[in-house]
Amino acid sequence: MSESTATLEESRTEMTELLLPNDTNNLGRALGGAVLHWMDICGAIAAMRFSNRQCVTASMDHVDFISPIDLGEVAVMEAYVFNVGRTSVDVKVDVHAENPKTDELRKTTTSFLTFVALDDDGKPTPVPRLVCETDEEEELRAEAVAARADQLESVIERME
């Protein structure tokens, strides 16, 4: 039996959400919980596209909100698989705020999420091996691996 493979490109997912009043705080900015929810959904879709399985969230790494998303702006979430384990899938999720009146796009946050693929009985199941078919895919993968390591190192330093 040959080992199955899937590409980084097959996992790419983009989601958009118009920031409406129900997802804002009293300053008219996105609630952090709403942004985390959107990131989780976008990451799960990327993991499911990659593995062709139902996937559940195992972890979300540290999240810093570096720029707000204002009422009426579009939250743009982009995700892709950058690493895999036996049954786990690591996904990078970037979030940007887009002003639809000016087309201005600014980074608001990035995080790394880990999902576990499940079989039809709800048990962890093996995932395909990640293949990067282009130099761009390999560069994205390498950047994500390095960025995750840097982020984890930064969190450790803050805790010491």
Angle at 65 between CA 64 and CA 68, to 5 degrees: 175
pLDDT digits 0-9 by tens, 5-25: 999 999 999 999 999 999 999
Question: What is the predicted pLDDT for the residue at 101?
Answer: 96
Mean pLDDT score across all residues of the chain: 96
Global pTM value: 0.93
Answer positive or negative: Cα dihedral of 127, 147, 95, 99.
negative
pLDDT digits 0-9 by tens, 93-134: 999 999 999 999 999 999 999 999 999 999 999 999 999 999
Question: What is the predicted pLDDT for the residue at 155?
Answer: 83
Distance CA 151, CA 75 (A): 22
Question: What is the predicted pLDDT for the residue at 159?
Answer: 86
Question: What is the predicted pLDDT for the residue at 2?
Answer: 53
Q: Which domains does the chain have, with CATH numbers?
A: 5-159 (3.10.129.10)
